[in-house]
Amino acid sequence: MKFSKKSEYGLRALLELCGTYGGRVLQRHEIAERQNIPVEFLEQILLALKRAGLLASRRGVRGGYALIKSPEDITLGQVIRILDGPLAPISCVSKTAYQKCADCPYAATPSCPLQQAMGEVRDAIANILDHYTLSRFAHSK
């Protein structure tokens, strides 16, 4: 029941990028040094966030990364789903990546006891993370 380093690093990197939002770009090594993250690994994370539309980048000498969405419009839930996949503790209660359980005898049944409990957990997690914005996240610094 853990989040990966990827998510953790990604959030910490975004924290740095929030600090220069609207201003200058940050280079991978700056972020990596300040946040203590292996630079080549960080790169993969930044690229994933870029592909997801959160970051822009410029190559070459004065290149680097910058946020292209306001910190108020990015939630922790979004970031974690990009880097770690769905939030749901079991896939039969995922809203973003539902999958019927193969072996569960209640799969066919109208109501699965496990599903009910896990659904509540999923909702609780999503409720917090999908309402926690980067701005709120960054301000408690």
Partner DNA sequence: AAAAACTTGAGCAACTCACTAGACAAAATA
Partner DNA sequence: TATTTTGTCTAGTGAGTTGCTCAAGTTTTT
Binding site for DNA (CB under 7 A): 4-6, 9, 27-29, 37-41, 43-44, 46-47, 50-51, 57-65, 84
Q: Which is nearer to DNA, 47 or 97 (CB)?
A: 47
Query: Cα separation of 86 and 54, whole Å?
Result: 18
Q: In the window 47-86, what residues touch a second copy (CB under 8 A)?
A: 76, 80, 84-86
E runs forming strands in 1-141: 55-58, 64-67
Binding partner selected for residue 58 from DNA, a second copy, none, CB under the kind-specific 5 to 8 Å limit = DNA
Taking the least distance from each CB to DNA, the nearer of 25 and 138 is 25
- Cα torsion 129, 132, 133, 138 to 10°: value is -110
- CB-based contacts of 91: which residues, under 8 Å, 6+ apart? 97, 98, 99, 101
Closest distance of CB 58 from a second copy, Å: 26
